[in-house]
Amino acid sequence: MVSVVHKTIVIVVLLTSIALADEQSDFEAIQNSYRLHKSNKQQLVKDFFKNYPNSAFIPDIRMLVAASASTVDESIREYKKIISNYRHYSKRDVAFLSLCQLYYIKSDWSSLQITCNQAIEECTTSNYLPVFFQLRAIAHYNHSHYEDGVNDCEKIPEYSRQMNTLAYSLFLKTQMDRQIYGYARHYIRGLAELLHGYSEATIYPACVLQLGQYYEYNKKYNEAWSAYHFLMAKYPKSPEAVAAQRYAQNIKQYNPKNVAFMPDEKIIAQSESIDISPELMQKDAHQEKNIFYAITIGPFYNLQKAKELQKLIVNYVVPVHIVRKTKSFEIYAGHFSSLDEGMNIKIQLAEELGINGFIIEIFEQDGKQYIYGQ
């Protein structure tokens, strides 16, 4: 009798092991089909869901389906299913992040804010929590809820000590301070903190450029000139250096001199507490002929999705290029001679395809191209 029971247990264990091996093998086949963009991938997913309805691999498969969907809206639907149906899924925060990025691409600021709210509430231990705060701050910015955006930026140091994350959050805060107070004390104080405390951050050249624009706006042409030339000397290959070169030409008529320009407490104390008539810096009306504009869309973390979107965009504008970044892809669309021309296509893509793009300047010099975001 014992022998029979023992044999039965052995058979059950063996059959279970075989079933698990089949399930693992089928899952790996699906992964491979999506990686190689095989035509049978959807059928493999359908068969897997039928054969293994309770599999622990199902959320991972749904993530593959969402990332490879043919449209942005389809991806959104798939990510929302994952978030709603798999509350204990280990990569649920990744689904939230992907969903937020898609709403960002669509310029759907209301949905972005709502999704960030949920992610912040439900993913309290996620490594992406600082990113959710940043994205929610961007949503607030685009709703002109600047105080709420500032509050989110100020929370980020509680969850991250990563230099670039902290620097970008402070940079976002300065942009909202500028909207609230103009080129005034709150704004220059934030820039000063960035310039003195984050010299190794990726955002640093943009901070120097904005410092120069602050000085130029306040007619401190010596300081503006010095900031622009520091930027050109320190970061000669950066897009900000190209912009600085143009801005420096604008103020050359004032015969500026090189002076100490880094903001200190004296500069901050001399600034106005509020700019009673804030206005954005006006770009030089006489644009050089070697500057043109394009629309950038992305980032994308899936090349196939970028290619599928490229096929849609070519119906509206050409050329459309996919550019490989370090960890992602971006689409560059158009070659416009004027900002207005690019803006018209940008609006059309948003209205008809639900695609959010950003206008960039592309400056050609010495056979090289430099890109500067608007």
Which of 121-135, 336-350, 359-373 is predicted with the least confidence, judged by mean pLDDT? Answer: 359-373
pLDDT at 35 over 60: yes
Which of 78-87, 134-143, 259-268, 331-340 is predicted with the least confidence, judged by mean pLDDT? Answer: 331-340
pLDDT at 11 over 60: no
Quick one: pLDDT at residue 277? 55
Q: Do 219 and 250 form a contact (C-beta atoms < 8 A)?
A: no
pLDDT at 9 over 60: no
CA distance 142 to 293: 23
C-alpha distances in Å from residue 296, one per residue of 80, 237, 315: 26, 20, 16
Structural domains in the chain plus CATH codes: 2-90 (no CATH), 162-286 (1.25.40), 291-373 (3.30.70.1070)
Closest CA to 185 of 262, 265, 274: 274
More confident residue, 243 or 207: 207
Three-class DSSP category at 263 = coil
Residues 259-271 pLDDT 10s: 999 999 988 888 8
pLDDT at 119 over 90: yes
pLDDT at 274 over 60: yes
Quick one: pLDDT at residue 167? 94
Quick one: pLDDT at residue 15? 42
Q: Do 332 and 295 form a contact (C-beta atoms < 8 A)?
A: yes
More confident residue, 7 or 202: 202
> pLDDT class for 188, splitting at 50, 70, 90?
very high
Quick one: pLDDT at residue 187? 93
pTM: 0.71
Residues 280-315 pLDDT 10s: 444 443 344 467 788 888 888 788 888 888 888 888
CA angle 355/101/161 to nearest 5° reads 145
Q: Highest mean pLDDT: which of 112-121, 210-219, 332-341?
A: 112-121
Quick one: pLDDT at residue 290? 64
131-138 long-range Cβ contacts below 8 angstroms, 24+ apart: 131/97, 131/100, 131/165, 132/96, 132/97, 132/100, 133/159, 133/169, 134/165, 134/168, 134/169, 134/172, 135/100, 135/104, 136/112, 137/169, 137/172, 137/173, 137/176, 138/104, 138/109, 138/112, 138/172
Cis peptide before 299 (omega within 30 of 0): yes
Q: Which residues are CB-neighbours of 133 under 8 A, at least 6 positions away?
A: 116, 120, 152, 153, 155, 156, 159, 169
Q: What is the mean pLDDT of the chain?
A: 85
> pLDDT class for 4, splitting at 50, 70, 90?
low
pLDDT at 374 over 50: no
For the chain, what percent of residues have pLDDT higher than 90? 49
More confident residue, 283 or 130: 130
For the chain, what percent of residues have pLDDT higher than 70? 87
- Mean pLDDT value of segment 107-134: 94
CA distance 346 to 59: 35
Tokens at 132, concatenated? 């959710």
CA 140 to chain centre: 15
Tokens at 205, concatenated? 């050249």
Which of 58-67, 191-200, 278-287, 301-310 is predicted with the least confidence, judged by mean pLDDT? Answer: 278-287
Tokens at 315, concatenated? 């119906």
pLDDT at 343 over 90: no
- Mean pLDDT value of segment 232-260: 90
Quick one: pLDDT at residue 148? 96
